[in-house]
């Protein structure tokens, strides 16, 4: 069994609460994003990331959520991939997902919050 980094409150969510907060990869109502990397299910890492975005209240919390997302993707890939060439492909895809949430996740993070846009 793989142990991913997640807050205790996430692990204590009921299935109903989890379904209301989490939707796998991609923002709710946004462009569909696959929950797999070359056949490897990464939806739990995406769900933890969704939860972090749901409860986060500062831009530092978003930065942490995005960093943890990358670490969780690496954990899944390392634990579930036996072929080196496939691991490399999955790691490249993981970096793409992390870069996407860093660059384009602000709107999803701010949803339902009174949080000013970041000024880069």
Q: Is residue 6 part of a domain?
A: no
**At residue 116, does pLDDT exceed 90?**
no
The alpha-helical segments, DSSP class H, found in the chain are 8-11, 15-21, 43-55, 59-80, 84-104, 106-110
Q: Is residue 41 part of a domain?
A: yes
Q: Is the torsion defined by CA of 51, 54, 57, 59 positive or negative?
A: positive
Which are the contacts of 101, defined by CB distance < 8 A and separation ≥ 6? 49, 65, 66, 69
Q: Is residue 5 part of a domain?
A: no
Query: How much is the pTM?
Result: 0.95
| Segment 9-30 mean pLDDT | 94
User: Domain range for residue 83?
Assistant: 34-110
Q: Is residue 24 part of a domain?
A: no
Q: Is residue 93 part of a domain?
A: yes
**At residue 120, does pLDDT exceed 80?**
no
**Total domains in the fold of the chain:** 1
pLDDT at residue 33, as a whole number: 94
When pLDDT is cut at 50, 70 and 90, the band that residue 41 belongs to is very high
pLDDT at residue 117, as a whole number: 84
When pLDDT is cut at 50, 70 and 90, the band that residue 74 belongs to is very high
Q: Is residue 115 part of a domain?
A: no
Q: Is residue 29 part of a domain?
A: no
| Segment 59-70 mean pLDDT | 97
């Amino acid at each position: 069994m793989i142990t991913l980094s997640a807050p205790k409150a996430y692990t204590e969510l009921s299935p109903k609460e989890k379904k209301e907060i989490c939707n796998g990869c991609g923002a709710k109502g946004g462009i569909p994003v696959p929950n797999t990397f070359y056949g490897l299910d990464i939806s739990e890492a995406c769900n933890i990331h969704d939860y972090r975005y749901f409860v986060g209240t500062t831009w530092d919390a978003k930065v942490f959520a995005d960093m943890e997302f990358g670490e969780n993707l690496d954990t899944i890939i390392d634990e579930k991939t036996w072929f080196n060439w496939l691991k490399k492909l999955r790691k490249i895809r993981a970096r793409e997902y992390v870069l996407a949430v860093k660059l384009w996740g602000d709107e999803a993070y701010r949803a339902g919050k009174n949080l000013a846009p970041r000024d880069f």
